[in-house]
Amino acid sequence: MATFSITVNGVQHNVEAEPDMPLLWVLRDILNLTGTKFGCGVASCGACTVLADGHAVKSCVLPIQSVENQKITTIEGLSADGNHPIQVAWETIAVPQCGYCQSGQMLTLAGLLNQKPSPTEDELEAAMSQVLCRCGTYQRIRQAALLATKKSKL
């Protein structure tokens, strides 16, 4: 066991964990931030996506030791009141069906927009294809992603 310092959603935490413990389990089991979901455990489905220093990362395979001193953002920290352009777009389009992948979808898009505020449709499609949707609501996800991209420019 070791103590790691990470900032999650603007709050600094010192957590005791094994160095190779995945960030996902630190978030869910130690910090009780359960919006980030476990999907596959091998970084294939994207349900566990969070932001590390603004970049979308798969938290199920990211050891806590690799994110020490980084700023982590989970779905709970995207905005305090749900008015982030991505959240507004998701609500406007009524994207979620079961909702399981939605935190991964939204944070994947947030990571893309942090890196490229005006992505092309191909870049948007490539980024969003990194998260699987069990319900197949890809058309609504795409519509909301396009809407969020437009809203984030305002």
pLDDT in tens, 45-56: 999 999 999 999
What pLDDT band is residue 128 in, cutting at 50, 70 and 90?
very high
Instruction: Indicate the domain borders of the chain.
Output: 2-77, 85-152
Residue 87: other Cβ atoms inside 10 A: 19
CATH number of 85-152: 1.10.150.120
Over the chain, what is the mean pLDDT? 94
What pLDDT band is residue 65 in, cutting at 50, 70 and 90?
very high
- Judge whether 117 and 97 are in contact, CB under 8 Å: no
- Judge whether 29 and 16 are in contact, CB under 8 Å: no
End-to-end CA distance of the chain: 46
pLDDT digits (tens, 9 = 90+) for 102-114: 999 999 999 999 9
Q: What per-residue confidence (pLDDT) applies to 153?
A: 60
Element containing residue 5 per DSSP (H, E): strand 2-8
Distance (Å, rounded) from C-alpha 44 to C-alpha 124? 18
Reply yes or no on whether the pLDDT at 150 is more than 90.
no
The CATH number, out of the four listed (3.10.20.30, 3.90.50.10, 3.40.50.300, 3.30.110.40), of the domain defined by the range 2-77:
3.10.20.30
What pLDDT band is residue 34 in, cutting at 50, 70 and 90?
very high
The arrangement of strands across the sheet holding 71-73 comes to 11-17, 2-8, 71-73, 49-52, 55-58
| 32 Rama sector, left if φ>0, alpha if ψ -120 to 50, beta otherwise | left
